[in-house]
Amino acid sequence: AEGETHLEELQLREKSLNADLEEARSALYSLLTDLSRMGSLQEEAQRRLQALDERVGRNRSEAVSVREKYEEAQELIAALESTLAGFRERKANLGEEREQLGEALAGLRRRIEENEN
């Protein structure tokens, strides 16, 4: 009877250990699944970071290009404004010359009329 009791205790202990083992195995498979999913998430995050790094690099290059074009446009604007100022000055000078020539022409016409009379 003592041997049977001991055997039953061992069997109960074996069942308990088997249940614990099955629980541990299930937990390990769950952890393995989680680990695999985390690895996939990490790879996806790395791909996204790389894409962002590439986009940042392109944006920097584009910003430099835009800045250079802006500076070129500013230089062109300054040159055109200078040219326009020169044209305005020349126009003013030509207006004065025209006025002087008009006065000289009027004077010549008066002389011609005086000489004809």
Domain count of the fold of the chain: 1
Q: Per the domain annotation, does 65 fall within a domain?
A: yes
For residue 1, the model assigns a pLDDT of 84
For residue 117, the model assigns a pLDDT of 74
For residue 69, the model assigns a pLDDT of 98
User: Rounded to whole angstroms, what are the CA distances from 58 to 65, 71, 80?
Assistant: 10, 20, 32
Q: Per the domain annotation, does 95 fall within a domain?
A: no
Q: Per the domain annotation, does 93 fall within a domain?
A: no
Instruction: Give the helix, strand, coil percentages of the chain, each rounded to 5.
Output: 100, 0, 0
For residue 41, the model assigns a pLDDT of 98
Structure letter (DSSP) for residue 117: -
Q: Per the domain annotation, does 10 fall within a domain?
A: yes
For residue 103, the model assigns a pLDDT of 96
Q: Distance from CA of residue 93 to its chain's centroid?
A: 50
For residue 98, the model assigns a pLDDT of 97
Q: Per the domain annotation, does 92 fall within a domain?
A: no
E strand spans, 16-117: none
Q: Per the domain annotation, does 40 fall within a domain?
A: yes
Q: Per the domain annotation, does 38 fall within a domain?
A: yes
Rounded-to-integer distance, Cα 33 and Cα 100, Å: 98
Low-confidence ranges of the chain (pLDDT < 50): none
